[in-house]
């Protein structure tokens, strides 16, 4: 069931994005997994390709990977971290309503993950990693994530950690 939805523009296209509870996977093309990754000190891990725009670790599946396998691999590749525990918080469902991908529906699993950081040895597109508190994360700008959506994600992650 959808309880929040909003329109936003990304790369010249308009998307309707909605948050869905973890109990029922929404319809659409599986588009990967992403997480608010927390260290033992409860700091959130952010990653960046350029050191200017920061994002949460995550990405698309390879082959027939499931949601959790995608999360584990992407966090290791992007954040140089190992997922020790993860809680599925929900799903995002984005539908392109105007642009070259109009009609495309993408679904991503959204997690709260407890991680152990490994030595920083980037091997893929990510070039920087930093840690921030959850309050800073909730107030910050993360990639193309709409503010209301990030605030919801942080609330869900806090609740799952209690």
pLDDT at residue number 40? 96
pLDDT at residue number 69? 98
Domain ranges of the chain: 2-160
pLDDT at residue number 137? 94
Place of tokens 């920083």: 120
pLDDT digits (tens, 9 = 90+) for 43-87: 999 999 999 999 999 999 999 999 999 999 999 999 999 999 999
Place of tokens 């990967």: 32
Look at the domain 2-160 and name its fold: Nucleoside Triphosphate Pyrophosphohydrolase (3.90.79)
pLDDT at residue number 128? 97
pLDDT at residue number 48? 96
Residues constituting the chain: 162
- Do 115 and 49 touch, CB atoms closer than 8 A? no
Mean pLDDT computed over 95-107: 96
pLDDT higher than 70, residue 1 = no
Q: Burial letters for 61-96: b for 16+ Cβ neighbours within 10 Å, e otherwise? A: beeebebeebbbbbbbbbbbbebeebebbbbbbbbb
Secondary element (H or E) of residue 75? helix 67-79
Q: Report the phi/psi class of residue 23: left, alpha or beta, with left for phi > 0 and alpha for psi in -120 to 50.
A: alpha
Task: Fill in the DSSP letter of residue 142.
Answer: -
pLDDT higher than 90, residue 110 = yes
Residue 8's contacts (CB-CB under 8 Å, 6 or more residues apart) are 14, 15, 17, 144, 146
Between CA 5 and CA 94 the distance in angstroms is: 9
pLDDT at residue number 3? 58
Token code pair at residue 99: 């642009």
pLDDT higher than 90, residue 18 = yes
């Amino acid at each position: 069931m959808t309880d929040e939805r909003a329109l936003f523009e990304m790369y010249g296209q308009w998307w309707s994005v909605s948050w869905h509870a973890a109990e029922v996977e929404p319809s659409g093309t599986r588009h990967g997994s992403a997480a608010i990754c927390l260290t033992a000190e409860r700091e959130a891990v952010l990653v960046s390709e350029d050191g200017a725009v920061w994002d949460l670790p995550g990405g698309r599946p390879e082959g027939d990977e499931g949601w959790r396998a995608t999360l584990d691999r992407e966090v290791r590749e992007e954040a140089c971290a190992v997922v020790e525990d993860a809680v599925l918080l929900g799903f995002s469902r984005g539908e392109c309503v105007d642009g070259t991908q109009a009609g495309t529906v993408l679904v991503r699993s959204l997690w709260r993950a407890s991680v152990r950081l490994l030595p920083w040895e980037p091997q893929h597109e990510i070039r920087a990693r930093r840690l921030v508190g959850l309050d800073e994360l909730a107030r910050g700008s993360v990639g193309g994530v709409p503010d209301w959506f990030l605030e919801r994600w942080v609330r869900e992650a806090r609740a799952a950690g209690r």
